[in-house]
Structure formats: C-alpha cells, structure tokens
Amino acid sequence: MVNLLDFDREGLASFFVELGEKPFRATQVMKWIHQQAVVDFDAYTNLSKALRQQLKEIAYVSQPQVQMSQTAQDGTRKWLLQLDSDNSIEMVLIPEEGRNTLCVSSQVGCALDCCFCATAQQGFNRNLSTAEIIAQLWLAEHILTQEGDQADNAKRAISNVVMMGMGEPLTNLNNVIKAMNVMMDDFAYGLSWRHITLSTTGIVPALARLKETCPVNIAISLHAPNDALRNKLVPINQKYPLAELMSACRAYAKGNPQRRITFEYIMLKDINDSPAHARALVKLLQGFPAKVNLIPFNPFPDTRYICSPRETIDHFRDILVQAKLLTVTRKTRGGDIDAACGQLAGKVRDRTQRQFKLFNKEIVNETI
C-alpha cells in the first residue's frame, strides 16, 4: 500500500502510468486530495469505477493524528502531531492580517545539536517522509477551511510556508523538495516560491542542489559573525565554515535580482550581542543582497542562555542599519505555548549517540 501524499505530480503520473493509466490522472487525483481534501476514493467521480476500486486495494491517503492543539494569547496556534508510538512533531500557525503562515517540520528532532535550540536538545530519530511533510499543510488547510478562518487576500487558508519547524531541511533534501513541489503545484496549493522559505544552518552541497531543483527563498541560521563563535553555537560550521557558506549563498542569489538571502541571528546575552559582534557581522555581509532577522532568544527548560536586553538588541540593530543592512527584529510569537522560534520539541525517541559528532558525513549527506 502506498500513501498518495508521498508523490509530487511527476511521481504520481509515473504511478498511474505503471497502472496502465494516462499521466493526466495525476492532476485529477491531486486536485481531489490537495484542493478538495477528499480522501475517499469512491468520491473521485471523474475516475472509472475500476480505477477507484484498484486505488482502494493498493493506495491510501493518511495524515498524522492531532494529539494536542494550543492557541497562544497572540493567536499563534500549535499542533502536536502523532506519527507513531515513539515520535511526534509540532507545526505552528502564525496568523497575521491578510495572511496565514505555517511553520512546517521536516524531521523528528534534529541531529545538528545547536545548543540554543529546544528541538536539537531532543535528539534525532528520523527524516519525515514527503507524505508527513505535506500532510502538515494538508491538515492545516483542512482545519482552517472547516473553521472558515482563511487569510483575507489568499485563495487558500495558508498563504505562506516556512520550513522552520523541527529538523534541518537540507539533510532531508529529497523528501523536502518533493513536498515543496507539491506546495507550488497549481493542481495542489499553488504557492509561489516567494511565499515559501526554507531555513537551514547551511549544508553547502545541498544549497547548490536546491537552487538547481527547487529555488525557494532561503534563511540561513547564522547566529555568529566568525568561525570561532559559530563553531560553538552551530556545530555544522566546523564542516562548512563561513567562507564556504557565504560563497554558497552568493551562488544561490546569483542570477535573480529579486532574491535576497535572509540571515537569522539569535540574540544571546553576553554571547554574540556586543557592538564588536555587530561590526563583524556588517563586515561579513557587506555588499551582499542580505536581510538580517534579529531573533530574541526564546527560553526553554534547562537552557543556560538568556535573551539579550531590548536596549542591547536595539543598539545591535542600529549598527547594522547604519551600515545600510536591511535589518528587522523579529516579533516573538507564541511564546506562552512554547511555539516561538527555537522552542519546538515534540516527542522524539533519540536514536543518536550524543558522545559522537552529529554532523558526521553519514547524517549530513544522507540525502544529498
């Protein structure tokens, strides 16, 4: 039995060709699944009875089960989704006037061990399948449509997707690309690449492949302006140091004057928030088509870090702005339900061994 959510349009067309059907069956079925949210094959009235019966025997459409739903005071919503007996993931909806942004997870936990991130502290279990990634969008669309809570200026309930949930998307590249292809498919959700952003610590070889196959917006989890500090905060930097990362980012932006790389910088008190750090960041990004998001640190249980004071963040921002770097301080959303940036944890049966380096070749290059 195959889950039809595991296919993008190309894969679904091949699936039907193998059944002796025409490739256009893929567009018909995608519209039923993703646009109409219909999972009962008997309802697919533009398919023959024989094909509907065959689908019931060899295929299904399945989504994770909602284990818990929470709504923050600012309207941010978080769902805990059960995958199996050992693992669950979290997805987050950030509603704003005129749009709804869905924060989607790509892995159960994360192997990259960034010390300021709650997800990384849970350990790592496995990659999500394409079906488990796209099912988050399917489920959010279905919930909001049922509630009649659609973005004012959007055809569909979800107007923007950010691959910023649990996990490092570029170490699950094959499944992530297929899922994003479905997000952008006119027979599914029809999102523009401008409305999809993938957040990554910077897996350099995967950035090149992403540009070739699915060039959505990217946001680099930078968090430090030099290798010495970034090696501690973002351990993958020891494999792909800043010089390599920045070169890859320039290559990603090249050829598209509309593309601006976002750099995320979490503000940690007395760690990376001094004026000297700000000036070093200016030097690193000078002349680059960059946007800097300063992210106030969101605490989680047992963390040793503290968020920089507001006046420190403002002074840091002013140094960047004076150097003509487009800079914004991200508004914290959903902190009262642990739905803010860096707080997603879910439930993870850790299968890694933390005494080893988790950015080793086997894990990082698993699907590149």
Q: Which residues contact 20 (CB under 8 A, 6 or more apart)?
A: none
CB atoms within 10 A of CB 323: 15
**% of residues, the chain, pLDDT over 90:** 69
Vertex 111 angle, CA 108 and 117, to 5°? 85
* E strands, 204-289, in order: 217-221, 261-267
Contacts of 112 (CB under 8 A, 6+ apart): 120, 168, 171, 201, 234, 235, 236, 358, 359
Question: In angstroms, rounded to a whole number, what is the distance separating the alpha carbons of residues 120 and 274?
Answer: 25
Per-residue pLDDT, 64: 87
DSSP 356: S
CA count, 13 A, side-chain hemisphere, 56: 12
The tens place of each residue's pLDDT in the chain, 368 residues long, gives 999 999 999 999 999 999 999 999 999 999 999 999 999 999 999 999 999 999 999 999 998 889 889 888 888 999 999 988 778 899 999 998 888 999 999 999 888 888 888 777 778 888 999 999 999 999 999 999 888 755 543 467 999 999 999 999 999 999 999 999 999 999 999 999 999 999 999 999 999 999 999 999 999 999 999 999 999 999 999 999 999 999 999 999 998 877 889 999 999 999 999 999 999 999 999 888 899 999 999 887 778 899 999 999 999 999 999 999 999 998 876 555 555 454 455 555 555 544 334 444 444 444 44
How does DSSP assign 47-84, residue by residue?
A: S-HHHHHHHHHHEE----EEEEEEE-TTS-EEEEEE-S
pLDDT value at position 150?
55
* Residue 276 CA to its chain's centroid (Å): 31
Q: What interhelical angle do 173-184 and 130-147 show, nearest 10?
A: 30
Tell me the per-residue pLDDT of 9-22, one tens digit each, with 9 for 90 and over: 999 999 999 999 99
Of 90, 132, 141, 168, which residue is the catalytic one?
A: 90
Q: Give me the sign of the Cα torsion angle 344, 237, 239, 179.
A: positive
Give the C-alpha separation, 243 to 247, whole Å: 6
Whole-number CA gyration radius for the chain: 21
SS3 152: coil
Residue 235, number of CB atoms within 10 A of its CB: 18
Confidence at residue 117, expressed as pLDDT on a 0 to 100 scale:
83
| Residue 311 CB neighbour total at 10 angstroms | 8
Domains of the chain: 2-60 (1.10.150.530), 65-364 (3.20.20.70)
Structure token digits, residue 148: 């009649």
Q: How far is CA 43 from CA 32, 48, 61, in A?
A: 9, 11, 13
- Could you give the CA distance from residue 229 to residue 280 in angstroms, rounded to a whole number? 12
Beta-carbon-side half-sphere exposure of residue 44 (alpha carbons within 13 Å): 26
Give the max Cα distance, the chain.
70
pLDDT at 154: 44
Tokens of 285: 């990004």
Confidence (pTM): 0.89
Q: Identify the pLDDT of residue 121.
A: 73
244 assigned to active site: no
Count Cβ atoms within 10 A of the Cβ of residue 203 and give its class: 0-12 exposed, 13-18 middle, 19 or more buried.
buried
Q: Which is the catalytic residue, given 57, 103, 341, 366?
A: 341
Buried b (16+ CB within 10 A) or exposed e, 63-100: bbeeeeebebeeebbbbbbebeeebbbbbbbbbeeeeb
Q: Is 90 among the catalytic positions? A: yes
Q: Is 343 helix (H, G, I), strand (E, B) or coil?
A: coil
Q: Which two tokens stand for residue 172?
A: 């699950």
